Amino acid sequence: MKRFKRVFLIVLDSVGIGELPDAKDYNDEGAHTLGHIAERMNGLNVPNLSRLGLGHIEKLEGVSADAPPEAAFGKMKEISIGKDTTTGHWEIMGLRIETPFKTWPNGFPDSLIKPFSERIGRGVLGNKPASGTEIIAELGEEHMRTGDVIVYTSADSVFQVAAHEEIVPLEELYEICKVARELTLDDEHSVVRVIARPFVGEPGHFTRTANRRDFSVSPPGKTVMNELQEAGFTSIAIGKISDIYAGEGITEALKTKSNMDGVDKLLETMRKDFTGLSFVNLVDFDAMYGHRRDPIGYGKALEEFDRRLPEILGALGEDDLLIITADHGNDPIHHGTDHTREYVPLLVYYIGMKGGQPLGVRETFADVGATIADNFQVTKPSIGTSFLRQITE
Ligand SMILES: O=P(O)(O)O[C@H]1O[C@H](CO)[C@@H](O)[C@H]1O
Ligand SMILES: [Mn+2]
Ligand SMILES: [Mn+2]
């Protein structure tokens, strides 16, 4: 069986491909991120994803399925409970999350906000679930006047702190987040991620900056990345990946400013000689378009990614494997502004591949992690089935 020297894994953050059988439990019946975007775009212009086989996974407007797919293709179910980034990524690397992370639909209790405020020496505004852009529009001016920080949450297990970069210097904001991180490690007040959300601009025209930083709890067990690292392989994290796994199982982390910067950084790693994994998350799909319920912006971002795909494919060497998938859905025409419980697409490609193998409906995202573990012959996760043999024989 062929084995690969380098695996390049791309997570298109929130690019779901249709409701999961249990979508109803998440109030997500009918969600279809890619399908609805393709409809709103009157056809998605993604010739390179089409070439690989996107249209063979699911019929999508404008995405041709006439030619035989060049990549192995399929879609994957999430078996964990949840539809957040952390759950999705942890499952990809072999963990099954069965106890849902704590969420805070009514904001955080005084027993958390009081000590937080005392320790940071600033007041707290907001303290409710909100969209990040809306809450800075609502409270940004007051924040600038008082110096109080804006705290908000969402349907995810997150404690987000927004502050103007000229009112709260970035380093202070990160320190504030570290205080929040410390105070939210116990069961009573637990959150998975504390997120720094700096912004700039004048009232009425605030914009968030790329200085966002996530402070995640560590995964509850070993991931495939830990196994790779322990076995001496390289494990490169690009974009949010390092934050999502709290630095676990990562030998090198590269920060990114945007999807296109993420692609640039991925290409940089493709020019290096290493043995192991290079794993990138492209978060703009989710943060800039999915949560903002902007199907046209989302569609254009997909087309922009598609235009970079030939560079990625062109940079693949003889012993490289490319895997493209996602971590959950975020249907921009669905109600609310949160993620949606969906299948994620799976495209797997290498040079000289016979092509076209249908990988079917995979029972868990962890099939990706199991395949990577299988490839590098490290301990396989307790969930997930490798598709390495299927694509190489
Ligand atoms: O509305 P914004 O601030 O983008 O927040 C979104 O980003 C958070 C973290 O990914 C999610 O919890 C969601 O609420
Ligand atoms: Mn995500
Ligand atoms: Mn999100």
**Domain of 281: which CATH number?**
3.40.720.10
Indicate the top mutation candidate among 128, 152, 154 to test ligand 1's pocket, ranked by most ligand atoms within 8 A of CB: 154
Please tell me whether residues 262 and 362 are part of one structural domain.
yes
Counted domains in the chain: 2
pTM of the predicted model as reported, rounded to 2 decimal places: 0.94
Of 166 and 155, which is predicted with more confidence? 166
Inter-residue contact 295 to 312 (CB < 8 Å): no
Binned at pLDDT 50, 70 and 90, residue 268 comes out as very high
The answer as to whether 105 is a domain residue is no
269 alpha-carbon distance from chain centroid: 19
The pLDDT of residue 110: 98
**Does 81 share its domain with 26?**
yes
Q: Can you name the residues that pair with 199 across neighbouring β-strands? A: 164, 208
- In this predicted structure, the answer to whether residue 152 has a pLDDT above a threshold of 90 is yes
Instruction: Tell whether residue 291 is among the known ligand binding residues.
Output: yes
- β-bridge mates for residue 222, sequence order: none
- What distance in angstroms lies between residue 275's CA and the mean position of ligand 3's atoms? 31
Is 156 within any annotated ligand binding site?
no
Residue 139 lies in a domain: yes
pLDDT of residue 161: 98
pLDDT of residue 146: 98
Q: What are phi and psi of 373, to 5 degrees?
A: -60, -45
| 8 Å CB contact between 345 and 57 | yes
Neighbouring C-alpha atoms within 13 Å toward the C-beta of 158: 25
Q: Percent of the chain scored above 90 by pLDDT?
A: 98
In tens, the pLDDT along 384-393 reads 999 999 999 8
Give the residues surrounding ligand 1 with Cβ less than 6 Å away.
Answer: 85, 131-132, 154, 156, 158, 160, 195, 287, 291
Mutate to test the pocket of ligand 1, among 89, 102, 160 (most ligand atoms within 8 A of CB): 160
Atom 14 of ligand 1, residue of closest alpha carbon:
154
Which among 266, 250, 248, 269 is positioned nearest to 258, based on CA atoms?
Answer: 266
**Three-state SS string across 298-314, please?**
HHHHHHHHHHHHHHHHH
- The answer to whether the Cα torsion of 256, 326, 366, 370 is positive or negative is negative
Token pair in block for residue 123: 């007041």
Q: What angle do CA 64, 66, 68 make, to 5 degrees?
A: 110
User: 230 with 338, same domain?
Assistant: yes
69 in the same domain as 159: no
* Residue 222, pLDDT score: 98
151 has which bridge partners?
A: 126, 161
Position 245 in a domain: yes
**Residue 308 covered by a domain:** yes
What separation in angstroms does the CA of 36 have from each of 298, 334, 379, 392? Answer: 11, 9, 39, 34
State whether 91 and 189 are in the same domain.
Answer: no
Q: Is 327 annotated as a binding residue?
A: yes
Is residue 100 within 8 A of residue 86, CB to CB? The reply is: no
Which position has the token pair 């994957």? 76
- In 3D, which of 72, 75, 73, 79 has the Cα closest to residue 32? 75
Do 382 and 253 belong to one domain? Answer: yes
- What pLDDT, on a 0 to 100 scale, did the predictor assign at position 393? 86
φ/ψ region of 123 (left if φ > 0, alpha if ψ in -120 to 50, else beta) reads beta
Task: Please tell me the distance between residue 327's alpha carbon and the centre of ligand 3 in angstroms.
Answer: 10
pLDDT for residue 284 is more than 90: yes
Q: Which atom of ligand 1 is nearest to the CA of 158?
A: 12
Average pLDDT, the chain: 97
Q: Does 377 fall in a domain? A: yes
Instruction: Say if residue 194 is in the same domain as residue 279.
Output: no
Chain centre to alpha carbon of residue 54: 19
Closest by CA position to 53, among listed 329, 301, 391: 391
Query: Looking at the structure, do residues 274 and 387 belong to the same domain, yes or no?
Result: yes
264 known ligand binder: no
CA 248 / ligand 3 centre spacing (Å): 21
Domain hosting 165: range is 110-216
Return the SS3 of 212. Answer: coil
Residues 270, 265: Cα–Cα separation, whole Å: 9
pLDDT number for residue 95: 98
| Rounded distance from Cα 158 to ligand 3 centre (Å) | 10
Which residue minimizes the CA distance to atom 3 of ligand 1? Answer: 132
Each residue's pLDDT tens digit, 158-171: 999 999 999 999 99
Q: Which ligand ends up closest to the CA of 283?
A: 2
Q: Which listed ligand is nearest to 199 at the C-alpha?
A: 1
pLDDT on residue 1:
87
Q: Binning pLDDT at 50, 70 and 90, where does residue 250 land?
A: very high
Helix axes 295-314, 259-270, angle to 10 degrees: 10
Q: Using an 8 Å Cβ cutoff, are 188 and 99 in contact?
A: no
pLDDT in tens, 306-340: 999 999 999 999 999 999 999 999 999 999 999 99
Amino acid of residue 31: A
Ligand 1 closest atom vs CA 283: 10
CATH number at residue 209: 3.30.70.1250
Instruction: Read off the pLDDT of each residue in 356-362 and give the average, rounded to a whole number.
Output: 96
- pLDDT category, 355, cuts 50, 70, 90? confident
Same domain, yes or no, for 186 and 241? no
Best mutation site among 291, 298, 330 for ligand 1, i.e. most ligand atoms within 8 A of its Cβ? 291
Question: In this predicted model, what pLDDT tens digit does every residue of 103-141 receive, in sequence order?
Answer: 999 999 999 999 999 999 999 999 999 999 999 999 999
| Residue list, CB under 5 A from ion ligand 2 | 13, 85, 286, 327
From 216, 231, 261, the end of a domain falls on 216
Q: Whose CA is nearest to atom 13 of ligand 1?
A: 154
Q: For residue 34, how far is its CA from the centre of ligand 2 (angstroms)?
A: 15
Phi/psi for 258 (5° steps) reads -165, 175
User: Are 132 and 249 members of one domain?
Assistant: no
Residues 88 and 124 in one domain: no
| Residues 22-35 pLDDT 10s | 999 999 999 999 99
Query: Ligand 2 centre and the CA of 352: distance in Å?
Result: 32
- How many angstroms separate the Cα of 392 from the Cα of each of 355, 357, 375, 383? 10, 10, 11, 21
Q: Which of residues 178, 200, 216 is at a domain's end?
A: 216
Residue 284 among known ligand-binding residues: no
Per-residue confidence (pLDDT) for residue 147, from 0 to 100: 98
Residue type for position 251? T
Q: Is 1 among the domain residues?
A: no
Q: What is the reported pLDDT for 356?
A: 87
**Structural domain ending residue among the three candidates 188, 216, 244:** 216
Q: How far is CA 191 from CA 160, 180, 223, 227, 241, in A?
A: 10, 10, 20, 26, 18
65 CA → ligand 3 middle, Å: 30
Is residue 104 in a domain?
Answer: no
Shared-domain flag, residues 208 and 256: no
